[in-house]
Structure 1
């Protein structure tokens, strides 16, 4: 088989040029491949010839400035197969990515968890049961826009409602311009609409908490029971973890889909504000009508955003979530972006000096 046979996995001219440049500078005999399975640092890489178990070269581990530079599911990589054809391949480099979906790790603010690379479509999966949460959808939208992938909201368990149209319209209102699909996998409702986003060579990823039906959706798209599924807990409609690794599946008729463990927490990662701005474009548009250009939408006179909340055209919960995600984004920027850190230090210095001046003026006035 030739390298061209990797086209069904998304291989193209840009990747070929990057690999050619890399391999010409390497003393090792390298082949390109895509990471199709990731389990606690163990990688499976699909090449034109076969699928290899691979370990990351020490040089790549040493040179990686952060977790973001390390290989993850969906990455295109350059690896050296074992000379004898037996044993593990050695992964030497990660080829340039066109997108990267990552979240802040639950236990740390300094390292991200990589969810998927080279993703074209991020399917944001939410169940139409008692666990439905619009605020969680807004957060997932922010992550998706920030990654460079196109978000699509998939509302599973549509068979639980007599008519899911109202829920679809509700989500369309909080995600302007984003496609929203109501799905019932057992009834084959909405599956063709999901498939239409994944023609040959395109990659999607499922993003959602446990119990929303991601594994069931994958099984129906694959037309076979590849993943174990479990029902949600009846006492709170929360799911049980059934997927313990990340895997890239090739779908019948073309396209690929990445599935992994459910994630109840979706912490923002990175300093890029585009994700928040894209998710809450309606609020930014309304803020253009505020009297003051630096309006904080709190108690300022002439605040168009607060007027929209008072009139009922903007839900107060949506504004609260916007402000919450803005604060979270700013904090992440201070932790990861040197320029943002410098701006924050200047702001703290100015605030300290202003406080000192007020205290001095007060003392002088009291004498």
Structure 2
């Protein structure tokens, strides 16, 4: 007999799944398959009263993942909204935010930037930096996880959501505040390294209510985009996508080629040169 369940936790090659009736099982895969993600709806076959085998996944409505030159890491499946959790301390990476927004756009997932620990004086600089992304249609929400995490509830409601970010930004603290419990592990910040300590070691899905799910994910320091095609990149930039197809050469790298519409738009001030520089860096990365 084969049934269906949702993956609620992913530990590499081991998983926890939950059936529509609310029963949870430890799950393994056949032939060391690792192409499953937290949030996947999967077909399962029973081994015993506590263990099942995952046979395959059902069609996904979205898949968020990162890929560098060496390996691919699935982050979550069937997600509607990506909350990129940042904070002024430890120092966030704007490049990480840019890359996550690009991955979300490519996957058709709506993105929200959460500026956590907003009561810190260092927040002002990042509030100004991130204001640009509001012009691209990205919502910016300020939170202090221990005081007003509930401000996120209207945005989470009715969706499958994921908290994604670098270590130490407060993803698990926010998750706990929304759950009303200390379910998700949290950790401090290494001041010597100005970086967060890794506490969440695997993606974990929680039910906030009957219609709302939240995935808390491990802290990331890098976000590889090798799963994207260089020729498609322009389409994932809300401020540059209107220039797609206007360059003289279809495989334009937007650097030295004549007739580059992107460079011309930057030189005329129509688009920001910093965004073109980011596009060039990612294009170079993908063509390497």
Change (3 A) 1:231 1:314: farther
1:158 paired residue number:
118
1:177 counterpart residue number = 137
Structure (1 or 2) with the larger CA radius of gyration? 1
The aligned counterpart of 1:93 is 56
| Closer, same or farther: CA 87–185 of 1 in aligned 2, 3 Å | closer
Relative to 1, partners in 2 of residues 1:314 and 1:57: Cα closer, same or farther, differing over 3 Å? same
TM-score under structure 2 length normalisation: 0.85
Contact 2:87–2:123 (8 Å) recurs in 1: no
Contact 2:17–2:25 (CA under 8 A) maintained in structure 1: yes
User: What residue ranges of structure 2 are gaps of 5+ in the alignment?
Assistant: none
Q: Does the 8 Å contact 1:77/1:91 carry over to 2?
A: yes
Pick from 36, 52, 62 the counterpart of residue 71 of structure 1: 36
Residues 89 and 182 (structure 1 numbering): CA distance in 2 closer, same or farther, change over 3 Å?
A: same
Q: Which moved more, 1:132-141 or 1:276-285?
A: 276-285
Partner of 1:117: 77
Higher strand fraction: Structure 1 or Structure 2?
2
Which secondary structure does the structure 1 equivalent of 2:17 belong to?
Answer: strand
- Tell me the distance in 2 between the aligned counterparts of 1:220 and 1:231: 16
Task: Give the drift of 1:179.
Answer: 1.3
Compared with structure 1, are the counterparts of its residues 185 and 275 closer, same or farther at alpha carbon in structure 2 (3 Å cutoff)? farther
> Among residues 42, 46, 49, which one is paired with 1:81 in the alignment?
46
1:44 equivalent in structure 2? 16
Aligned: 1:293 with 2:254: no
Deviates more, 1:304-313 or 1:175-184: 304-313
Shift of 1:313: 6.5
Distance 2:40 2:257 in 1: 48
The offset of 1:308, in angstroms, is 5.7
Q: State the shift of 1:192 in Å.
A: 3.6
| Separation (CA, whole Å) in 1 of partners of 2:248 and 2:150 | 46
What pairs up with 1:98-109 in 2 under 5 angstroms?
A: 98-105=61-68, 109=70
Q: How many residues align?
A: 284
Paired position in structure 1 for 2:27: 54
Q: 3-state SS of the aligned residue for 1:158?
A: coil
1:36 is paired with a residue whose SS is: strand
Tell me how far apart the structure 2 counterparts of residues 182 and 215 of structure 1 sit (CA, whole Å): 16
Alignment partner, residue 215 of structure 1? 172
The 10-residue stretch of structure 1 (140-149 or 308-317) with the greater mean CA deviation from structure 2 = 308-317
1:311-364 Cα offsets, whole Å, 9 max, x none, are 767544332211111223345xxxxxxxxxxxxxxxxxxxxxxxxxxxxxxxxx
